């Protein structure tokens, strides 16, 4: 029997596959499409996602192919420079088209030994006390101990598992595509500048090779979300919004997105779990969707691996929903707010002007930026210590940085006292008896996802938290 089936070979699924393989879990990824999707829905990676990739030793692959962009104007397009001294070594957004991100994560999953089957659509599933059986469109079946649906906003797995997906349908649609234009770039700039004074959901940006990424509001909401727009639809909406269609032609791909906000009522049903867009959908404002999915996978991977290997404390898998459901709910809220602020009616424009004044205050600007790039997240572990529950940055150690010691996906005891020990957990937790001027605590216990599970200097207290997160010694 396979250990874990992952339905969906997008960035979330491939990230999860790589995480599971670090712990020797046998994984098969079932992807419906026979070839990788070339639609560029996401344009980049935020700070926390780059930290996650750094913790696994693969961030350089992404940095080599991406472009660093300043963190300006990421909340509803309000133009404001990023705050100074953000608590991250990645105080920028890495511009990287989604197909490239997906390719790099697929390469990593394959390197670690994951099996990827393309052209394999899940059409049915059944679970019992021992495992899950996934039925495929070709009439075959695959059985595993667990199944994770990473199969997007229209998730088949979520529907088959009977998990409700409450929320609001789209009220506005936006067309998105990659194409060539028939006018010089010099003619595009003044038109775009004028239109964007009021319409923030509009833009034409060169992406190389004579092609442009075109974003334009649609005049109505599509009844059938699976039907993609045509080039004539783009021409019509461009003329309506900008007064010209810019001579668009030779489309490479065309798509649409709405402002629907929905979240799965639960992320787990027995041996079936959800991650990424299968668990939550929201408008793409702030570029948070793909990043949210990667971070779901990073949170789930080590926990699911522990369950497969029989080392998970009884409620460890349940902490996945307890921690990630509130994070996604906050993203839904901030994207709803951003969509309202981007509307052209007098009321939203008045609120936008007020918020534009407020973000001039450094702490307001910092609060909003840290929310978007996900470095301010604190999971509730029931501790009064503000450090506990937070992710930790790449602390400088005597030899390199902390993230260099986390590539294997194990827990870490960073012990500045030199008196503590992981004891019977040394097969799952590395002991670093080092001092860092950047750590204001005698010692910290880090989970494999880099969040602080404990801080202090008492061995007995530490032993309790080791058992809580890593099972029996």
Domain boundary among 189, 224, 258: 258
Per-residue confidence band for 100, with pLDDT thresholds at 50, 70 and 90 = very high
Query: Would 385 be classed as within a structural domain?
Result: no
Residue 228 sits in a domain whose CATH number is 3.30.70.2450
Q: Are residues 40 and 132 in the same domain?
A: yes
Per-residue confidence band for 74, with pLDDT thresholds at 50, 70 and 90 = confident
Residue 424 belongs to domain spanning: 402-470
Q: Label each residue of the chain as H, E or C.
A: CEEEEEECCCHHHHHHHHHHHHCCCCEEEEECCCCCCCCCCCCEECHHHHHHHHHCCCHHHHHHHCEEECCCCCCCCCCCCCCCCCCCCCCCEEECCHHHHHHHHHHHHHHCCCEEEECCCEEEEEECCCCEEEEECCCCEEEEEEEEECCCCCCHHHHHCCCCCCEECCCCEEEEEEEECCCCHHHHHHHHHHHCCCCCCCEEEEEECCEEEEEEECCCCCCCCCCCCCHHHHHHHHHHHHCCCCCCEEEEEEEEEECCEEECCCCEECCEEECHHHCEECCCCCCCHHHHHHHHHHHHHHHHHHHHCCCCCCCCCHHHHHHHHHHHHHHHHHHHHHHHHCCCCHHHHHHHHHHHHHCCCHHHHHHHHHHHHCCCCECCCCCCCCCCCEECCCCECCCCEHHHHCCCCCEEEEECCCCCCCHHHCCCEEEECCCCCCCCCCEEEECCCCEEEEECCCHHHHHHHHHHHHCCC
Per-residue confidence band for 215, with pLDDT thresholds at 50, 70 and 90 = very high
pLDDT above 80 for 225: no
pLDDT computed for residue 433 by the predictor: 96
Q: What is the pLDDT of residues 140-161, one digit of tens each?
A: 999 999 999 999 999 999 999 9
Domains in the chain, number: 3
Determine the Cα–Cα distance for residues 89 and 48; give it in Å rounded to an integer. Answer: 10
Q: Are residues 295 and 344 in the same domain?
A: yes
Determine the Cα–Cα distance for residues 88 and 373; give it in Å rounded to an integer. Answer: 10
Per-residue confidence band for 135, with pLDDT thresholds at 50, 70 and 90 = very high
pLDDT computed for residue 152 by the predictor: 95
pLDDT computed for residue 276 by the predictor: 98
pLDDT computed for residue 52 by the predictor: 98
Query: Would 431 be classed as within a structural domain?
Result: yes
pLDDT computed for residue 465 by the predictor: 97
Q: Mean pLDDT across the stretch 67-94?
A: 88
Q: Are residues 249 and 285 in the same domain?
A: no
Under 8 Å between Cβ of 246 and 204? yes
Q: Mean pLDDT across the stretch 189-202?
A: 90
Residue 426 sits in a domain whose CATH number is 3.40.30.120
Under 8 Å between Cβ of 247 and 274? no
**Cα 296 from chain centroid?**
7
Q: Are residues 321 and 446 in the same domain?
A: no
Q: What is the pLDDT of residues 393-418, one digit of tens each?
A: 999 998 899 999 999 999 999 999 99
Q: Are residues 139 and 208 in the same domain?
A: no
Query: Would 394 be classed as within a structural domain?
Result: no
Domain boundary among 373, 391, 419: 373
Task: Tell me which residue of 393, 301, 307 sits closest to 105, measured CA to CA.
Answer: 301
Tokens of 383: 């501790």
Q: Mean pLDDT across the stretch 256-285?
A: 95
Query: Would 115 be classed as within a structural domain?
Result: yes
Q: Are residues 152 and 301 in the same domain?
A: yes
Determine the Cα–Cα distance for residues 118 and 35; give it in Å rounded to an integer. Answer: 7
Whole-number average pLDDT of the chain = 94
Query: Would 229 be classed as within a structural domain?
Result: yes
Under 8 Å between Cβ of 163 and 266? yes
pLDDT computed for residue 75 by the predictor: 86
pLDDT above 80 for 313: yes
Per-residue confidence band for 81, with pLDDT thresholds at 50, 70 and 90 = confident
pLDDT above 90 for 208: no
Task: Tell me which residue of 98, 132, 96, 112 sits closest to 7, measured CA to CA.
Answer: 132
pLDDT computed for residue 49 by the predictor: 98
In a 13 Å sphere around the CA of 239, the CA atoms on its Cβ side amount to 8
Tokens of 335: 């994207």
Task: Tell me which residue of 4, 64, 49 sits closest to 391, measured CA to CA.
Answer: 49
Residue of 12 and 346 predicted with greater confidence: 12
Q: What is the pLDDT of residues 433-466, one digit of tens each?
A: 999 999 999 999 999 999 999 999 999 999 999 9
pTM of the predicted structure, to 2 decimals: 0.94
Determine the Cα–Cα distance for residues 473 and 424; give it in Å rounded to an integer. Answer: 5
Q: Are residues 16 and 79 in the same domain?
A: yes
pLDDT above 90 for 209: no
Cβ burial of 135 (10 Å; 0-12, 13-18, 19+) is: middle
Q: Are residues 179 and 135 in the same domain?
A: no
pLDDT above 90 for 85: no
Domain boundary among 236, 258, 280: 258
């Amino acid at each position: 029997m396979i250990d874990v089936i992952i339905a969906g070979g997008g960035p979330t699924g491939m990230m999860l596959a790589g995480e599971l393989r670090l712990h020797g879990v046998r994984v098969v990824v079932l992807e419906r499409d026979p070839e990788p999707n070339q639609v560029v829905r996401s344009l980049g990676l935020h700070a926390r996602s780059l930290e996650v990739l750094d913790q696994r030793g693969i961030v350089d692959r992404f940095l080599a192919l991406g472009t660093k962009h300043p963190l300006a104007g990421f909340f509803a397009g309000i133009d404001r420079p990023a705050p100074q001294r953000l608590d991250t070594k990645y105080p920028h957004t890495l511009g990287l088209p989604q197909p490239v991100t997906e390719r790099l994560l697929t390469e990593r999953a394959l390197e670690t030994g994951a099996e990827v089957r393309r052209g394999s659509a899940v059409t049915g599933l059944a679970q019992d006390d021992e495992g899950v059986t996934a039925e495929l469109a070709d009439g075959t079946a695959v059985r595993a101990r667990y199944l994770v649906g990473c199969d997007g906003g229209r998730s088949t797995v979520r529907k088959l598992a009977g998990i409700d997906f409450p929320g609001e349908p789209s009220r506005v649609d936006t067309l998105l595509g990659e194409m060539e234009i028939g006018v010089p770039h010099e003619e595009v700039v003044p038109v775009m500048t004028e239109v964007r004074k009021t319409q923030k959901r509009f833009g034409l940006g060169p992406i190389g090779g004579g092609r442009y990424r075109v974003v334009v509001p649609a005049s109505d909401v599509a009844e059938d979300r699976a039907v993609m727009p045509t080039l004539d639809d783009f021409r019509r909406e461009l003329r309506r919004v900008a007064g010209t269609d810019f001579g668009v032609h030779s489309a490479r791909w065309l798509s649409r997105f709405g402002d629907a906000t929905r979240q799965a009522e639960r992320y787990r049903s027995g041996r079936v779990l959800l991650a990424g867009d299968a668990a939550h959908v929201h408008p793409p404002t702030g570029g948070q969707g793909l990043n949210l999915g990667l971070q779901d996978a990073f949170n789930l991977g080590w926990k699911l691996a522990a369950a497969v290997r029989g080392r998970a404390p009884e409620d460890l898998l349940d902490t996945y929903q307890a921690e990630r459901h509130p994070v996604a709910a906050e993203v839904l809220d901030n994207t709803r707010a951003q969509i309202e602020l981007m509307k052209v009616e007098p009321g939203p424009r008045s609120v936008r002007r007020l918020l534009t004044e407020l973000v001039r205050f450094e702490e307001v600007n910092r609060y909003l930026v840290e929310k978007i790039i996900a470095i301010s997240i604190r999971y509730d572990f029931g501790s009064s210590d503000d450090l506990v529950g937070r992710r930790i940055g790449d602390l400088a150690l005597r030899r390199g940085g902390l993230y260099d010691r986390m590539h294997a996906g194990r827990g870490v005891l960073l012990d500045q006292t030199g008196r503590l020990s992981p004891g019977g957990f040394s097969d799952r937790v590395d002991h670093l008896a080092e001092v860092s001027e950047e750590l204001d605590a005698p010692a910290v216990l880090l989970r494999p996802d880099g969040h602080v599970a404990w801080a202090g200097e008492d061995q007995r207290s530490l032993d309790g938290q080791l058992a809580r997160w890593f099972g029996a010694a």
